[in-house]
Amino acid sequence: MVRDGREIVSSIVASQVALHAPHGGVVPELAARAHLECIGPTVDAALAALPGGWDDVDALSVTRGPGLVGCLVVGAAWAQAAALARGLPIVGVSHLAGHVYSAWLSQAGFEPPFLALVASGGHTECVLLREHGDAVRLAGTRDDAVGEAFDKVARLLGLPYPGGPAVERAARDGDAARFPLPRTRLEGAFSYSGLKTAVRYAVRDLGESGLTRGGTPADPEVVAALAASFQAAAVDQLVDGLEAAVERTGAERVAVVGGVAANGALRTAVNERLRGLTVVVPPMSLCTDNAAMIGAAGWHRLQRRGGEAGFGVDPSLDEYA
């Protein structure tokens, strides 16, 4: 729940980590069902922060694509029903625009134009927000997204779901130089499947004696070293791509957003390598998926374009602003 787009009145996250952990990754069907079960209680918890409850709500903002369509449909249907029942305007907001706006939300005075690196489980993109409502994609996701690579590498190393934080923890004590891994640098795109495959081969090359029965490295030092080497390469690729976009655009303000922006090594690297620029990396609670960022982006969209005609939110519409 946000007031005037900016002030976070409440931000309730219904985590599905425990649901998906036994499967080692998100199971889309389970995710959609859990959305349906959680959405009512989650909205109620968010509304509890308002003295008048629904009576104090002026408008609704709901996430549309890109994302898991089953989950998006649940959210869009629920929010549209609520908007109709309460006679409130509703806006559909791009999931990725939401991430971009987490930077605007987290720092007063951080206004467009700014360049944003969106690093999440499904996307690795550089976006220039020229002004509110006017975004250009400069570099997109070629194959695996960076967060997806963290999650897959965690599995290869026998680390628990969710993979990003687990790899980061394991990497802390690891020797990043022990297993040199390649970096993929492309013009106008980010690719992580090559790096993930390089980790797969490094694990395979340990041979039977170096592996558990489940096929993951048996030696915790090897796990730590591979995690550290992967993280270093993944972060390098991200910051390289971001630097290229900075050069191309001459941007002076840069944001790093999305779930992977919670990664400490990335946060440090960005601040070191982009010294001299204004760099905003939101607090961790605004990096991973959250409602506040969708509220902030929706507030801007509502100012500019008003609510959706006929309450129609298309959950599959992939349009940035």
Interface with Zn ion by CB under 5 A: which residues? 120, 289
Q: Pick from ligand KG4, Zn ion, none: which does 262 bind, CB < 5 to 8 A by kind?
A: ligand KG4
Nearest CB to ligand KG4, comparing residues 165 and 307: 165
Quick check: bond before 162 cis, omega within 30? yes
Closer of 184 and 231 to ligand KG4 (Cβ): 231
- Residue 150 binds what, of ligand KG4, Zn ion, none (CB under 5 to 8 Å, by partner type)? ligand KG4
- Token pair in block for residue 301: 């969209």
Rg (CA), the chain: 20
Picking from 152, 149, 98, 93, the residue whose alpha carbon sits closest to that of residue 124 is: 149
Annotate each residue in 153-182 with x if it binds ligand KG4 (CB under 6 A) or - if it does not, as one string. Answer: ---------xxxx--x--------------
Count the residues of the shown chain that bind ligand KG4, applying the rule CB under 6 A: 19
Any contact of residue 120 with ligand KG4 (CB under 6 A)? Answer: yes
Question: Closest approach of Cβ 262 to ligand KG4, in Å?
Answer: 4
Neighbours of 84 (CB within 10 A): 11
Q: Is 260 in the site for ligand KG4 (CB under 6 A)?
A: yes
The closest alpha carbon to 116, from 283, 259, 254, belongs to 254
Give the residue from 176, 175, 155 showing the smallest Cα distance to 166. 155
Cα angle vertex 177, ends 174, 181, to 5°?
105
254 binds ligand KG4 (CB under 6 A): no
162 binds, among Zn ion, ligand KG4, none (CB under 5 to 8 A by kind): ligand KG4
Return d(Cα 156, Cα 151) in angstroms, integer.
9
CB 236 within 8 A of CB 190: no
- Which of 12, 71, 203, 262 binds ligand KG4 (CB under 6 A)? It is 262
Pairing of strands 90-94, 114-119: unpaired
Window 283-312: contact mask with ligand KG4 (x via CB under 6 A): -----xx-----------------------
Nearer to Zn ion, 144 or 289 (CB): 289
b/e 37-66 (16+ beta carbons within 10 angstroms → b): ebbeeebeebbeeeeeeeeebebbbbbbbb
- Nearer to Zn ion by C-beta: 95 or 196? 95
For 296, the token pair is 């902030």
Out of Zn ion, ligand KG4, none, what residue 98 binds, judged by CB under 5 to 8 A for its kind, is none
Whichever of 113 and 264 has its CB closer to ligand KG4, that residue is: 264
How is residue 48 annotated by DSSP?
Answer: T
Work out what residue 263 binds among ligand KG4, Zn ion, none; the CB cut-off runs from 5 to 8 Å by kind.
ligand KG4
Token pair for residue 268? 């440090």
State yes or no: residue 102 binds ligand KG4 (CB under 6 A).
no
Give the interface with ligand KG4 as residue ranges (CB under 6 A): 120-122, 147-148, 150-151, 162-165, 168, 258-260, 262-263, 288-289
